[in-house]
């Protein structure tokens, strides 16, 4: 009779044996454990880059003032939840450096030339680029505290473009005769270039007639090669035979001009000087 009243469902389950250890998860297979958030440090770092320019011009000390650089280093942290993975960045550390640049070696910088170095800090790495220079430089980095020193050793001169503001033009002025127009120029570095016998100053001039509501007429195109000097004066009457049209009294005229240096001191780059103010031609 006892066997007839036994419940098969309960008889099929094994009895819990506490002498061998008891597993709650095994005893309750339908139970679901609530997962804990899991931190995943996947070592993904991101650092900001801080850059500054350090410039030297004629007469400056050969060692720059310190440039203060700061780089922020962030780490990416991810957490797993039931609804998925969530990631964020948090600041791990700040890196700071004070960087100075020292110019060394045999240098012959011209008065209008300058040296410009870009220094950057990214995490713990300091990088240096030569942005503008009158020489080729060997860069030697010397880490240290309280200053990180960059030594820029000059190894060769680089011909640079002439000073774009080296020559300036005045206004057209009246002179004697039917082609009497003159134009004066000032050369800031004329005496400097004059110390080199092979140097020449090249002026490119276009004398034009101002024609309102129409194309301006070209009177003369001329290129002059002159010995360097502090001032130049151009008398257009000397080139009257080359005029494409005669000058007309009461009309407005101007000169479009440019210059370059010819020799070994500067590159043979053409500098656009622009246009002179309009002037009325009134022959004397």
Residues 46 and 153 in one domain: yes
Q: Is 247 contained in some domain?
A: yes
Q: Is 4 contained in some domain?
A: no
Residues 247 and 153 in one domain: no
Pick from 255, 252, 273: which is nearest to 182 by CA? 255
Residues 112 and 45 in one domain: yes
Q: Is 1 contained in some domain?
A: no
What pLDDT is stored for residue 67 in this prediction?
97
Q: Pinpoint the alpha helices (H) of 32-80.
A: none
Residues 118 and 88 in one domain: yes
The answer to whether 69 and 97 have CB atoms below 8 angstroms apart is yes
| Residue 193 to residue 229: CA distance in whole angstroms | 8
Pick from 182, 173, 243, 233: which is nearest to 203 by CA? 233
What pLDDT is stored for residue 117 in this prediction?
98
Q: Is 20 contained in some domain?
A: no
Structural domain boundaries enclosing 257: 167-280
The answer to whether 138 and 155 have CB atoms below 8 angstroms apart is yes
Residues 211 and 144 in one domain: no
- Which tokens is 217 given? 């007429």
| Residue 124 to residue 118: CA distance in whole angstroms | 16
Instruction: Please name the residues in contact with 168: beta carbons below 8 A apart, sequence gap of 6 or more.
Output: 185, 186, 188, 273
**How many domains is the chain partitioned into structurally?**
2
Of the residues 124, 157, 190, the one at which a domain ends: 157
Specify the pTM. 0.66
Q: Determine which of 26-30, 156-160, 266-270 has the lowest per-residue pLDDT on average.
A: 26-30
Average pLDDT score over the chain? 87
Q: Is 256 contained in some domain?
A: yes
CATH number at residue 213: 2.60.40.10
| Residue 107 to residue 13: CA distance in whole angstroms | 95
The answer to whether 52 and 18 have CB atoms below 8 angstroms apart is no
What pLDDT is stored for residue 28 in this prediction?
45
Residues 151 and 180 in one domain: no
pLDDT at residue 194 is higher than 90 = yes
Residues 44 and 152 in one domain: yes
| Residue 167 DSSP code | E
């Amino acid at each position: 009779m006892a066997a007839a009243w036994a419940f098969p469902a309960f008889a099929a389950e094994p009895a819990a044996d506490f002498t061998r250890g008891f597993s709650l998860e095994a005893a309750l297979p339908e139970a679901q454990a609530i997962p804990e958030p899991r931190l995943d440090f996947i070592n993904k770092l991101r650092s900001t880059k801080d850059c500054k320019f350090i410039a030297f011009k004629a007469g400056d000390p050969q060692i720059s003032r310190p440039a203060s650089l700061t780089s922020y280093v962030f780490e990416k942290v991810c957490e797993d939840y039931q609804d998925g993975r969530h990631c964020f960045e948090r600041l791990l550390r700040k890196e700071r450096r004070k960087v100075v640049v020292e110019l060394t070696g045999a240098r012959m910088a011209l008065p209008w030339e300058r040296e410009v170095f870009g220094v950057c800090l990214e995490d713990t790495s300091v990088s240096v680029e030569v942005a503008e220079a009158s020489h080729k430089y060997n860069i030697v980095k010397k880490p240290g505290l309280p200053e990180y020193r960059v030594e820029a050793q000059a190894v060769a001169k680089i011909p640079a473009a002439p000073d774009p503001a080296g020559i300036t033009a005045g206004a057209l002025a009246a002179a004697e005769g039917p082609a009497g127009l003159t134009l004066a120029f000032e050369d800031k570095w004329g005496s400097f270039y004059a110390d080199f016998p092979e140097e020449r100053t090249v002026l490119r001039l276009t004398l034009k007639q101002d024609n309102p509501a129409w194309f301006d007429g070209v009177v003369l195109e001329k290129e002059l090669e002159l010995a360097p000097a502090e001032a130049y004066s151009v008398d257009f009457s000397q080139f009257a035979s080359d005029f494409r049209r005669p000058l007309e009294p009461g009309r407005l005229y101007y000169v479009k001009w440019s210059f370059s240096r010819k020799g070994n001191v500067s590159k043979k780059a053409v500098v656009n000087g622009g246009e002179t103010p309009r002037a009325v031609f009134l022959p004397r």
